[in-house]
Chains A and B, each alone.
Chain A
Amino acid sequence: MRVVLQQLTKRFGAVTAVDALDLEIKSGEFVGLLGPSGCGKTTTLLMIAGIYRPTGGAIVFGDHRVEHLMPKDRGIGMVFQSYALYPHMTVAQNIGFPLAMRRGVAGDEITRRVREAAALVHVDGLLARKPAQLSGGQQQRVALARALVKRPDILLLDEPLSNLDARLRHEMRGEIKRLQKEVGITAIFVTHDQLEALTMADRVALMSDARLQAYATPKELYERPVNQFVAEFIGSPPMNFFAAELGRRNGSVLATAQGIEIELPPARAPRGDGQRQATVGIRPEHLAIVAPGAGHANGEIYVIEPMGREQIVDVQIGERRLRAIAPPGFSAPLGASVGLRAAVDQLHLFDPAGGERLA
C-alpha cells in the first residue's frame, strides 16, 4: 500500500521532533529512514503507526487519510527496537497475539498461521519457549513473525538490527531484505547506520534535526548528494572536504586551495561566473596515490590503515589532511612525499554558505 506523509509535524512541548516532513512511499517499496540519533526517526514511525498523534500534517495510506485511526485499525505490523516481545507469553502466543485480538479468527487457523509465520523466519522449533529463553537474533525473528502474521499492508521496523552482533547483523540484513521482497509488503525501516540503509533500502530518506535532508535511491545519494550534510553522512570512510577558490583559465574552471589545483570538467563546474568560493568534496575512493608532481596535489603520508581489501591512507597537504584509498599492495614509509590524483568527474561542489550542491 502507498504511504504519503504531507507536512507531517510533531512537537513535544518546545521540542520539534519532526518538522514538516514530506515523503511518498510507493506500494511494495522498502524505504530506509536514516539519520543521526535524536533526529526524529522513531517519532515519525510512531506517528505512522498511530501511537503518536501528529501535531500537524497528514498521513495517507492508499487513498485514505489515517491520522484519526487507532493503531489497531491501520493494518500495520511493527518491529520495535527492543523487540517488545511479551515476556509472559510463549513464542507461539506472542506470534498469535495479533490474531487473537481479532474477532472471528478460529483457534486452529491461529495455530496454522502462527506455524506459517514462524517457518517464514525459521523459528518454528522455538514455539514453546518464553522470550527470555531466546537469543537476540531469535527474539528479532519472533518479532518479525509477530509483525507479519496478520498480513499487514505496511511493515514498520525501528532499528531492527541495532541489538545484534556484527555477524548476525549482516545475516539479518540480507534476510529482511529478501523477506520484504518475498512478501511484497510496503516497508519502512529506521536506522542510524548508513551502511544498513544503503544496502537494504530501495530509497533512503535522510533526516537531520527533525527535517528531511534528502530522499533518493542509495545510488543517487552516493553519486549526487544534494547538499553537504548528505555528502558527509553517506559513505565510509567519509568524504574529504576543502575550501577552494574558483577561477578561470583557458575557458575552464579551476579550483585552487593551498597545495591543490584541480581543473574542473564542464559537467562539474558551476554555471555562470558569480561563484568565487566553493567547498569541494571528494570521496577517498576517488583519490589515487601517485608519484609526487603527477597529480592534483602534493603532500606527505601521515598514516596508513590497512583494512584487508584496501588501505586507508591519510595524506598531509599543508595544514589539511586528505584521505585516500590505496590498493592492498601499496606501501610507503610515513612522511614519504606523494602526489594525489582526483577522479575529476567524481568531484562535488557545495556552496560554502548554505551547503547546497553547486554542480
Chain B
Amino acid sequence: MTGTTLPAPRAPFRPQTLIPYAVLVLATLPILVLYVWLTYSSFFPRIEGFRPVGPFTLENWRFLWDPGSVDQLRNKPAIIPLTINTFLFAISTSVVVVLISSMAGYALSRLPFPGRRMFLGGVLLLHSFPSVTLLIATFIVLRQLGLYDRLLGVILVKAAFELPFGVWIMKGFFDTVPWELEMAALVDGASRLRTWWRIVMPLVKPGLLALGILTFVQGWNEFILPFVFMPSGSQQTLSTFVRAILGEGRFVDYGLLTAVGLYYVAPVLVLFVVAQDQLMRVYAGGVKG
C-alpha cells in the first residue's frame, strides 16, 4: 500500500464525444436566446430587432407597484391577488391530483379487483384524449353543480383532467415497491393503512414530489379552463390576465407584455431549476433506496 492515491487514468479525448453536446446546444440555443432577449427587452422602452433603443428603465415593470398608472390595467384585477389566485389554483389542483393518484395508483398496482385492466386502459385513453372536446359537457356539469364561475369548480375540472396522467405515473411508482416489504410490515404488526402510510408512501416520495411539481406547473400554465369557466374578472388567473393585455384592442404595449410575461413564467423556471432531479425520475421511472 502506498500512502498516495494515483490519479485515475484519464480517458483519451475523442472528438466524437462532443457531438451530443453540440446537438443539444444547437437545439436549446434558440430558446435560450429568446428568453435572454425577453428579459433585457423588458428593461428598455423599445426594441429594434435585437437592439434596445433608449435608456435603461423600469417603466415596463410599473404594474407591480403602481398598477393604477398603467392604462391597460385600469379596469383589471390587481396583480397581487391575481398571483395569489393562480398559486391557489395550481397548488390545490396539485394537492388533489397527488392525493387521489396516490390512492388510485396504489389500488391499481396491488389489488386484483374486477375491471382492473379495463380501468387501466380507460385511464390511458383518457390521458391521450384532448380535454378541449369536453368543454361543453363540463360546462353543463359545472352549471348543474353550482360551481360555474368559481375557483373550486375550475380546480376540480383541472384536477380531473390531470388525474389520468397522475394515476398512471403513481401506479408505475407503486409497482416498483416489492410486495415483500408490505408483507414484512404486516407481519411486524402494522395495519394495512399504516403499512401504506409508513412503508409504501415514503418509498414513492420521489414520485409524489415529481407529480406534485408537474401538476403545479400544468395548473400554473392552464389557460382554457379558467378562461372559459371563470369569466367574471375577480377570480382570474395570470394566464387569462396576460391574454387580456394582448387582446385589449387598439394597440399592444409590448414592453408591458414582456414584463408581465416574464413575471408569469418566473416561478415555473425557478421550480424547474430547483426540482429538475425529481422531475427526471418521472421519466426515468424508478425509485432508488
Contact = CB atoms under 8 A, between A and B. Distances in A.
Whether A associates with B in a native complex is yes
Interface of A: 46, 49-51, 70-72, 76-78, 80-82, 84, 86-88, 97-98, 101-102, 130-132, 146, 150
B186 A72 contact: yes
A81 B179 CA distance: 12
B183 A131 contact: no
A102 B184 contact: no
Interface of B: 178, 180-181, 183-191, 194, 199, 202-203, 289
Contact of A132 (B181, B185, B199, B289): B289
Contact of A150 (B180, B183, B189): B189
A86 B199 contact: yes
B186 A82 contact: no
B178 A88 contact: no
Contacts of B199: 86
Contacts of A71: 183, 186-187
A72 B180 contact: no
Contact of A78 (B178, B187, B202): B187
A153 to B, nearest CB: 13
Given A97-B188, A130-B289, 9 more contacts: A70-B186, A71-B183, A71-B186, A72-B186, A72-B188, A72-B190, A80-B184, A82-B178, A146-B188
A76 B187 contact: yes
Nearest to B190: A101
A242 B254 CA distance: 97
Contacts, number: 61
Question: Residue among B186, B188, B199 with the most chain A CB within 10 A?
Answer: B188
Contacts of B289: 87-88, 130-132
Secondary structure at the B interface, as helix, strand, loop or mixed, is: helix
Contacts of B183: 46, 49, 51, 71, 78, 80, 84
12 contacts: A46-B183, A72-B186, A77-B187, A78-B184, A84-B181, A86-B185, A87-B289, A97-B188, A101-B194, A131-B289, A146-B188, A150-B188
Top 9 A-B residue pairs of the complex, sorted by shortest distance between their CB atoms:
A87-B289, A101-B189, A84-B184, A84-B180, A98-B188, A72-B189, A71-B186, A78-B187, A88-B202
B203 A72 contact: no
B181 A86 contact: yes
Contacts of B187: 49-51, 71-72, 76-78
Contacts of A132: 289
Question: Residue among B184, B185, B203 with the most chain A CB within 10 A?
Answer: B184
A146 B199 CA distance: 15
A189 to B, nearest CB: 15
A101 B195 CA distance: 10
A71 B186 CA distance: 6
Contacts of B181: 84, 86
A46 B183 CA distance: 9
Nearest to A97: B188
Nearest to B199: A86
Contacts of A46: 183
B169 to A, nearest CB: 20
Contacts of A76: 187
B202 A102 contact: no
A82 B186 CA distance: 16
A97 B199 CA distance: 10
Contacts of A80: 180, 183-184
Question: Residue among A46, A70, A86 with the most chain B CB within 10 A?
Answer: A86
A310 B94 CA distance: 70
Contacts of B186: 50-51, 70-72
A59 to B, nearest CB: 15
